[in-house]
Amino acid sequence: MRAYNFCAGPAALPLAVLEKAQQEMLDWHGKGLSIMEMSHRSADYVAVAEKAEADLRRLMNIPENYKVLFLQGGASLQFSAIPLNLLGKNSQADYIHTGIWSEKAYKEAQRYGDINIIDAATQIDGKFAIKPQHQWTLNSDAAYLHYVDNETIGGLQFDQIPDVNVPLVADFSSSILSAPLDVTQFGIIYAGAQKNIGPAGLTLVIVREDLLDQARSDIPSILKYSAQAKNDSMVNTPSTYAWYLSGLVFEWLLEQGGVDAIHQVNLEKAKLLYGYIDASEFYNNPVALPNRSLMNVPFTLLRTDLEKQFLQEAEANHLLNLAGHRSVGGMRASIYNAVPLEGIQALVGFMDDFAQRHG
């Protein structure tokens, strides 16, 4: 039986996608081999890769003057690739710090440039929140401003896109495709695939063309956006299976009605879970309302001594991977696109039963 998987990443994938992949596994489209066994330069594979890009462009309404790159190394390698690609002419950059991932990003960038760190995490009435932009000290000479839209570990998300005069570079690893996004507001959007796109091993980079000529001369060519763009993300062998499977997820999303439609489902899921937690005396979410994540819902139990039991019983009820990140503890339910509303209903039902028995 398939369980409901609330893992933060690698995360749940749509059942229909896994079934399609299973069906195509041994003999892809009657060609007598698996897609994993195909040359990335073959016409068949190139068509799969191009279709995935075209579908993503449709889903996100990505304009022509943006390149879409399918790379490797995770979002973490982009923490280095971004400064290497953008700080060749001007070595100054602004980094907004709201949690663990944005901190990792600026620590890598500090190797390559003069980084202005804006500490934007704060608390409102004891709840975590993001400081409004008028409280940030920005550098108007920065080559770009970097931020993490959704801090996956803290469950802390921006409620608006920063409004600045320099190119915006944003890590959307755990929020891409969860809600409509105006791509034209950004210089670069990037995301590791394993949260809301597909399997691990693929990293998506959406980059505006005018940013392709600012790389440092010492950048490895694999990391260089202009080289990857020129070679259709095939400077070397790409992560072919993850790219193919992400393409199946994009097809699935289009079948669901696209990003607007899945966003409505996501809103309903989040409302159900946060609503239950807020009404309960037994559970607590530590984030202020405007900055609550649509995708990652951390929560604590009134009785922390019962955490282990909560996780064991949840697992016995086919509700998997609810432990919080090892650095913060507590619980966390990641409710990405592939987790259906029924999964949240089952989770809330279990949480309520557990609270009744122990509250």
Ligand X SMILES: *Cc1c(COP(=O)(O)O)cnc(C)c1O
Q: What is the set of active-site residues?
A: 101, 171, 195
**Which of 74, 88, 167, 199 is in the footprint of ligand X by CB under 6 A?**
74
The sign of the CA dihedral 34, 40, 42, 44 is positive
* Nearest in space to 157 (alpha carbons), one of 285, 58, 315, 42: 285
| Residue nearer to ligand X on the CB measure, 9 or 167 | 9
| Residue nearer to ligand X on the CB measure, 75 or 121 | 75
Does 173 interact with ligand X (rule: CB under 6 A)?
A: yes
- Least Å distance between CB 278 and ligand X? 24
Pick the stretch among 21-29, 170-178, 219-227, 345-353 that binds ligand X (CB under 6 A).
170-178
Tokens for 321, please give them: 């991977």
**Interface positions, 179-208, toward ligand X (CB under 6 A):** 192, 195
- Least Å distance between CB 286 and ligand X? 18
Q: Is 41 annotated as a binding residue?
A: yes
Cβ atoms of 79 and 105 within 8 Å: the answer is: yes
Does 76 interact with ligand X (rule: CB under 6 A)?
A: yes
d(CA 130, CA 241): 37
| Residue nearer to ligand X on the CB measure, 195 or 208 | 195
Q: Is 237 annotated as a binding residue?
A: yes
- Least Å distance between CB 174 and ligand X? 4
Alpha-carbon distances of 233 from 51, 173, 215, 229, rounded to whole Å:
14, 19, 17, 6
Alpha-carbon distances of 343 from 99, 223, 274, rounded to whole Å:
28, 38, 14
Does 152 interact with ligand X (rule: CB under 6 A)?
A: yes
d(CA 249, CA 203): 15
Tell me which residue has tokens 């900055």.
Answer: 291
The sign of the CA dihedral 65, 72, 158, 332 is positive
- Least Å distance between CB 158 and ligand X? 12
d(CA 194, CA 12): 9
Does 225 interact with ligand X (rule: CB under 6 A)?
A: no
Q: Is 152 annotated as a binding residue?
A: yes
Site string for ligand X, 111-150 (x = CB under 6 A): -------------------------------------x--
Q: Is 292 annotated as a binding residue?
A: no
d(CA 142, CA 152): 26
Residue 1 buriedness (CB in 10 A; 0-12 / 13-18 / 19+): exposed
- Least Å distance between CB 9 and ligand X? 5
Cβ atoms of 8 and 2 within 8 Å: the answer is: no
Does 336 interact with ligand X (rule: CB under 6 A)?
A: no
Cβ atoms of 49 and 34 within 8 Å: the answer is: no
| Residue nearer to ligand X on the CB measure, 174 or 337 | 174
Q: Are strands 296-301 and 283-284 parallel, antiparallel or unpaired?
A: antiparallel
Which residues are documented as binding site?
Answer: 41, 75-76, 101, 152, 171, 194, 236-237
Residues lying near ligand X in the complex (CB under 6 A): 9, 74-76, 101, 148, 152, 171, 173-174, 192, 195
Which residues are documented as binding site for pyridoxal 5'-phosphate?
Answer: 75-76, 101, 152, 171, 194, 236-237
